[in-house]
Amino acid sequence: MSLSTEQSIEKVLDLASQKKVSAEALVIETKKFNASFQDQALNDYEVTSSRSLGIRVVDGSHEGISYTESFSTEDIESTFLEAQANKNFVTSDCDPSFPEAKSIVNNMDFFNPQLSEVPVDLKLEFAKNLETYAKASSDKFHSLPWSAYADIEAKVLLCNTSGTQSSYQTNSCHAYAYPLCVNGDKRGMAFAAESSRNFYDLSAERIAKKSIADSVLKLEDTKPKSGKYSIVLQSKSAQTLLSLLVSHLSLKSIDQNLSALKNKLNEQLFSEKFHLIDDATYAEGMAARPFDAEGTKSSKNTLIEDGILKSYLTSFGYANKYNLKNTGNATRSTKSGINISSTNLLVRPGKLTFNELVDLDSEVLVVDNLKGLSGVNPISGDFSIESEGLLYRQGQFHCAVSNFTLSGNIFETLKNIEELGNDVEPTIKNIYSPSMFVGKMSVAGA
Amino acid sequence: MTVTQNIMENILSAALESGADFAELYLENTYESDISLKSQKISEAISGRNLGAGLRLFYGNESIYTYTNDLTEKGLLEAAQLAAAAKKGTSSTSIKNLSPYKYDSIHKYNALPWDVPKEKKVSYLQQVDKAARDFSNEITQVTARINEVHKQVRIANTEGLLAEETRQYCYVVCSTVAEGNGLREYGMAREGSLASSDYFETLNYKKLGEDAARTSVVNLKANFAPATEMPVVIANGFGGVIFHEACGHGLETTTVASGSSVFSDKLGQKISNDCVTAIDDGTIPNIYGSLSIDDEGYPTQKTTLIEKGILKSFIVDHMGARKTGYKRTGSGRRQNYKFAPASRMRNTYIDKGDSSLEEMISDIDYGLFAKNMGGGSVNPSTGGFNFSLMEANIIRNGRIEEPVKGASLIGTGIDTLSKIVKVGRDLHLVYGHCGSISGLVPTTVGQPAILVSRMTVGGRA
């Protein structure tokens, strides 16, 4: 017989009491919807639900983790025993015990009940319209190989033997289009996406038109000559680049000697125009949450202020180890250990318009797509990434460029920010950044 | 798994009531164990079980998918009703009696993950750590991870298929950090197989640790690669990631069916030089991308994709076959029950040719030897692909010379295939993971050394 979520948590805490160990039960329940169309036929339709339980057993400095998707009494018992056995092998880098008990129940701040009520027919129509509008936007439209409307609803419950009994609900929806436009032998593709907690904030027409306009621009692309170019990282590319910074900001990475930012607190490492905040309370951000994976209440934290590294991302155990503030950035799924990561990352926008940014030099290469991140050295921060972009001369669009790499180093690039734009594009990465003029960088092309 | 054949039939019958012309039930029970070492101690030991069912309905060329991990008959029926509510079809197809598909597996497993004590696995990780640290005092951090998966899948469909397979996967990966002269560099080495726990006893942990350490130490002293186009010799083994990205993904019916792949209209055409024969083979015993049946219950196959430069076959799953009319190749794969299957590569490699590595190198005045590769990605609709270099050297006047670092190699699929001008004899396959629409699946890439006459090397200008 399958136990309810509440019964399963109770069972874990009972077992911990019997075995005289500390334990934490994390249950995540999710419901997902996803639909896409090709040639006006339903290409993909998924409606799913799942529930999983993660058990973390702590005994002194030892910590073991196990998980299950079966909620029978027997399987929960065996999962608990497995976590208990796993702890015998592990000596944690920091005190793995739980923060002081706090019970936070928040079912409304990051959950829009109206989103759960949107009729399936409307969602399907939205997904179909992505293709309809894309097709109508240009005679160069060939197909829409990648697109979707999707929404997700999650309930997170975290309880431990220290008395924490917290839970929250969250939901969000997003849609994207990545159409293929063709002109003779030339192929152009560009991605556009939006996300929200309100279905009616999304616009299939806006997404489709944006993606098609950008795709058509790329039809006349050329391969740039290798050399140094003045670079603007367009908002989406800046977001991608910033995702590479997150692991270096983690105090766990610092502790494990995997970050280049070790012993750099309060140093001027970046451009004085660069200001970065992590804000788990930013309700418009899809990564908002009332508490982190250890139960610490969420907060807003300045990480980089005027280019000075002011704070790492921390968790309870690591913050204690280094006598730093706990920023509440512990994260984990039911199937992983405690890690430290960002929530909603926000870069303070500048004052220049995009047109002013591309007029900062006589020739400016706007990188609007960093494609795949396999060419990133996670330790040194060096990167060489296949890219696409737009070449501007004297502030005017000259041509699209593709099939080149952009090479540099994440820390040097952020140090070289000369100007920031005022243009923060919609994101589905939970990173909100304007475009950045970053000076000269290496481009490998023809 | 406690889902009986009778329950499976009931679920499939319920699913067909919506007028679908086909229904498929995928049941999965997976145990996974993962142990990590960092800073010379065990930093994580995590294990657990994934248990769930995926249900897929076809209405002609349209597909509905749902999954649940409520495996009671009631839970599965609710999932079937949820899927069926999504669409009304006109088919009056009924379920055929389920008939177990019997086969002799060519893959042998001698032990179960829980048969081998974790203490033994911990000792393997400690050997890797010691080897890496002993290699050089410039090594300041070693991370090693040992992972095992025991996956049971059971697939039934309304055409009467009932097939099941148990698959076991093992891998060990080591990554290192070297520090010196104010620089920090990264290295990585890995081994993996479709195998049971006794596979771990066959590995050379000293070599694994040393290989990762060597990469990070070599790169510590290397200058950045140039930013230019030049001839590139790509080493055997994981060098095969070039074919995986440049061509393999573009042959999957996931993109071929919509006509958006650059290879969609190239079947039967010459797309590469005579020296290139490429194969996607799911039938090689006990290697990482192999199967007995795919995740649609279809027997997996050896598929010749390119023969002497001519495109011979695509990589075809069930829905891909419906949409294109091409015969299924046993390539319907998924990470787990949370993904609908899609056409995916298995063990994909360029077959051996008749050149030697020495010949290729000696013909080049100035070029690059790509010795050790990282991961890559591709957009199959434009053909643009990239993969990173972990270790490389400049070739000058026919000799391999100084090491260089920090570059990706990029190109477009059809253009790059036409520039493979020599293929070596030293075919070698290496395990890896491939991420795409149906999740992360175990694969193998491989090739002998090859010479690409011109590629963009994405170093520093």
Looking at residues B117-134, what average pLDDT do you find? Answer: 97
The β-bridge relationship of strands A436-444 and A419-420 is antiparallel
Contact B456 A405 (CB under 8 A): yes
Q: Which two tokens stand for residue A21?
A: 């160990």
Residue to test with chain B: of A384, A404, A410, most B Cβ within 10 A: A384
d(CA B452, CA B368): 10
d(CA B231, CA B245): 19
What's the DSSP call for residue B219? H
CA dihedral sign of residues A253, A257, A261, A262: positive
C-beta of residue A333 within 8 angstroms of C-beta of residue A53: no
- pLDDT at residue B1, rounded to an integer: 52
d(CA B61, CA A31): 25
- Which distant-in-sequence residues (6+ apart) come within 8 Å of B182 by Cβ? none
Domains of chain A, each with CATH number or no CATH:
5-215 (3.30.2290.10), 219-242+349-444 (no CATH)
Task: Report CA dihedral (B71, B74, B77, B83) to the nearest 10 degrees.
Answer: -80
Q: If we measure between CA atoms, which residue out of A343, A332, A223 comes closest to residue A277?
A: A343
Using the Cβ of B49 and the Cβ atoms of chain A, whether some distance falls under 8 Å is answered with yes
pLDDT in tens, B155-169: 999 999 999 999 999
Contact B260 A142 (CB under 8 A): yes
- pLDDT at residue B311, rounded to an integer: 98
pLDDT in tens, B407-435: 999 999 999 999 999 999 999 999 999 99
- Which distant-in-sequence residues (6+ apart) come within 8 Å of A284 by Cβ? none
Q: Which of residues 216-275 of A touch B (CB under 8 A)?
A: 223, 226-228, 256-258, 260
d(CA B142, CA B131): 10
Using the Cβ of B387 and the Cβ atoms of chain A, whether some distance falls under 8 Å is answered with yes
**What residues in A contact B48, CB-CB < 8 Å?**
54, 65-68, 79, 82, 335
Q: Does position A428 have pLDDT exceeding 80, yes or no?
A: no
d(CA B197, CA B169): 9
**What residues in B contact A75, CB-CB < 8 Å?**
49
* Burial label, A117 (beta-carbon count in 10 A; 0-12, 13-18, 19+): exposed
Q: Does position B114 have pLDDT exceeding 90, yes or no?
A: no
**What residues in B contact A189, CB-CB < 8 Å?**
379, 381-382
Alpha-carbon separation of residue A377 from A83, A374, B209, B242, B408 (angstroms)? 33, 8, 19, 19, 11
pLDDT in tens, A120-151: 999 999 999 999 999 999 999 999 999 999 99
Q: Which two tokens stand for residue A310?
A: 């002011």
Nearest to B177 among A49, A257, A384 (CB): A257
Name the CA radius of gyration of chain A, rounded: 24
Q: What is the overall mean pLDDT for chain B?
A: 95
pLDDT band of B83, cuts 50, 70, 90: confident
C-beta of residue A77 within 8 angstroms of C-beta of residue A15: yes
Q: Does position A394 have pLDDT exceeding 80, yes or no?
A: yes
- Which distant-in-sequence residues (6+ apart) come within 8 Å of A368 by Cβ? A190, A214, A234, A236, A237, A388, A389, A390
Nearest to A403 among B405, B456, B461 (CB): B456
Size of chain B in residues: 461
Chain A nearest C-alpha distance from B144 (Å): 13
Task: Give the architecture-level CATH label for domain B113-152+165-221.
Answer: 2-Layer Sandwich (3.30)
pLDDT in tens, B362-413: 999 999 999 999 999 999 999 999 999 999 999 999 999 999 999 999 999 9
Q: Does position A107 have pLDDT exceeding 80, yes or no?
A: no
**Amino acid found at B70:** D
Number of Cβ within 10 Å of residue B414's Cβ equals 17
Nearest to A374 among B45, B377, B405 (CB): B377
**Amino acid found at B143:** T
Question: Which residues are bridge partners to A369 per DSSP?
Answer: A388
Q: Does position A297 have pLDDT exceeding 60, yes or no?
A: yes
Task: Report CA dihedral (A65, A69, A74, A76) to the nearest 10 degrees.
Answer: 40
Q: Which of residues 277-336 of A touch B (CB under 8 A)?
A: 335-336
Nearest to B43 among A93, A335, A378 (CB): A93
Which DSSP string do the residues of B347-415 spell out, in sequence order?
EEEEPP-SB-HHHHHHT-SEEEEEEEEEEEEE-TTT-EEEEEEEEEEEEETTEEEEEEES-EEEEEHHH
* Burial label, B102 (beta-carbon count in 10 A; 0-12, 13-18, 19+): exposed
d(CA A417, CA A410): 11
Looking at residues A402-425, what average pLDDT do you find? Answer: 96
What's the DSSP call for residue A250? B
Looking at residues B81-90, what average pLDDT do you find? Answer: 88
- pLDDT at residue A100, rounded to an integer: 87
C-beta of residue B83 within 8 angstroms of C-beta of residue A47: yes
Using the Cβ of A18 and the Cβ atoms of chain B, whether some distance falls under 8 Å is answered with no
Residue to test with chain A: of B57, B385, B408, most A Cβ within 10 A: B408
Q: Does position A57 have pLDDT exceeding 60, yes or no?
A: yes
Percent of chain A with pLDDT over 90: 92
pLDDT in tens, A68-93: 999 999 999 999 999 999 999 999 88
Q: CA of A63: which chain B residue's CA is closest?
A: B44
Residue A434 phi/psi, 5-degree rounding, is -80, 175
Size of chain A in residues: 446
d(CA B302, CA B291): 11
Residue to test with chain B: of A26, A63, A89, most B Cβ within 10 A: A89
Q: Where are the beta strands (DSSP E) in A15-92?
A: 22-38, 41-59, 62-68
- pLDDT at residue B404, rounded to an integer: 98
Q: What are the start and end residues of each CATH 3.30.2290.10 domain in chain B?
A: 113-152+165-221
Q: Does position B34 have pLDDT exceeding 60, yes or no?
A: yes
Rounded to 5 degrees, what angle do the CA atoms A313, A316, A322 make?
70
Alpha-carbon separation of residue A394 from A221, A360, A368, A390, B253 (angstroms)? 19, 9, 19, 13, 45
- pLDDT at residue B411, rounded to an integer: 94
Q: What is the overall mean pLDDT for chain A?
A: 95
Number of Cβ within 10 Å of residue A210's Cβ equals 20
Nearest to B408 among A49, A336, A375 (CB): A375
Helix (H, G, I), strand (E, B), or coil: what is residue B70? Answer: coil
pTM: 0.94
Q: Does position A1 have pLDDT exceeding 80, yes or no?
A: no
**What residues in B contact A82, CB-CB < 8 Å?**
47-48
Q: Does position A202 have pLDDT exceeding 70, yes or no?
A: yes
Q: If we measure between CA atoms, which residue out of A296, A282, A393, A256 comes closest to residue A344?
A: A282
Looking at residues A264-283, what average pLDDT do you find? Answer: 97
